[in-house]
Amino acid sequence: MNETPSPCPKCSCEYTYEMNALVVCPECAHEWVPSEAATEGGGAPEERVVRDAVGNVLHDGDDVTVVRALKVKGSPSGIKAGTKVRGIRLVDGVDGHDIDCRIDGFGAMQLKSGVVKKA
């Protein structure tokens, strides 16, 4: 009985620890109930599916369009709806930001898949 808590589902931090019935992440302070089904061997690793605002499955390298205006820290205008984003990369980001990308005029940033549509 020497179980290692599973990595944080929010930020993938591996230095999680158990506290009472919960697992706690020191990176993002996320707390969750460890799943009991995950430890038995034989199960195929779950493929994470990222979908855009209308339900299309997104893949690494896809081009997408931002479907609504987004505020950006330090930018007076933010990202406008309709902005094209090329070559996205799917990540397991903090706070549900599952797309890593580069936007002209803004640079590298992370977006939530729910604010884009496959181009």
**Where along the sequence are the contacts to Zn ion (CB under 5 A)?**
8, 10-11, 13, 25, 27-28, 30
Q: How far is the CB of 30 from Zn ion (least distance, A)?
A: 5
Long-range contacts of 76-79 (CB under 8 A, 24+ apart): 79/103, 79/106
- In the bound state with Zn ion, the residue whose beta carbon lies nearer, of 28 and 57, is 28
Q: How far is the CB of 35 from Zn ion (least distance, A)?
A: 16
For 71-111, what is the HEC assignment?
CCCCCCCCECCCCEECCCEECCCHHHCCEEEEECCCEEEEE
Q: How far is the CB of 7 from Zn ion (least distance, A)?
A: 8
- In the bound state with Zn ion, the residue whose beta carbon lies nearer, of 31 and 65, is 31
- In the bound state with Zn ion, the residue whose beta carbon lies nearer, of 1 and 38, is 38
